Amino acid sequence: MRVQQILKSKDSDSVITVAPGSSVEEAAKLLSAKRIGAVIVSGDGKRADGIVSERDIVRELGRKGAACMSQTVDSIMTANPVSCGIDDLSDDLFRKMTDGRFRHLPVVDDNGDMVGFLSIGDVVKAQLSKLEMEKDALQGMIMGF
């Protein structure tokens, strides 16, 4: 399955961003309010300058305690996050995410502008859907439909 198909199956195609210079506290509140696991740091809302995940915040809390909440997201974000394109295959996303040990990917067009955002859950859901279709096709072949 291609990324473009996965994006179409999502409830929302919006990409949630925070501006560079936002506090870690603001990012944490946004993650909580939107019930998401990561947010893109973007100065223009089009390009992914970085990404901040729940893990990043928890790691910083473990290192510095509650004082880290007043830091800027720039100080804890993963700069220049790995991304994917709309024509990439879900199998390739699994490999990329597993090898890189991350759970979120911005989707960019040919100009490098964000057109979506995928979580590992989105990719798993797409794979399950693909497997279900293959199973149904094989059952149809066996039963002569």
Q: Which of 14-18, 73-77, 120-124, 138-142 has maximum average pLDDT?
A: 73-77
Q: Hey, what are 5's tokens?
A: 């198909």
| Nearest residue to 90 (alpha-carbon basis) of 129, 52, 51 | 129
95-129 tens-digit pLDDT: 999 999 999 999 999 999 999 999 999 999 888 88
Which residue range(s) make up the domain with 128? 3-143
47-88 tens-digit pLDDT: 999 999 999 999 999 999 999 999 999 999 999 999 999 999
- How many structural domains comprise the chain? 1
pLDDT of residue 145: 62
Residues 6+ apart with CB under 8 A from 53: 37, 38, 78, 102, 103, 104
Regarding predicted confidence, which is higher, 129 or 22? 22
Instruction: Tell me the helix, strand and coil percentages in the chain, rounded to 5.
Output: 50, 20, 30
> Which DSSP category does 19 fall into?
-
The CATH number given to whatever domain includes residue 71 is 3.10.580.10
Please tell me the least confidently modeled range out of 22-31, 53-62, 90-99. 90-99
If you average pLDDT over residues 18-43, what whole number do you get? 96
pLDDT of residue 77: 97
Mean pLDDT of the chain: 92
Confidence of residue 46 (pLDDT cuts 50, 70, 90): very high
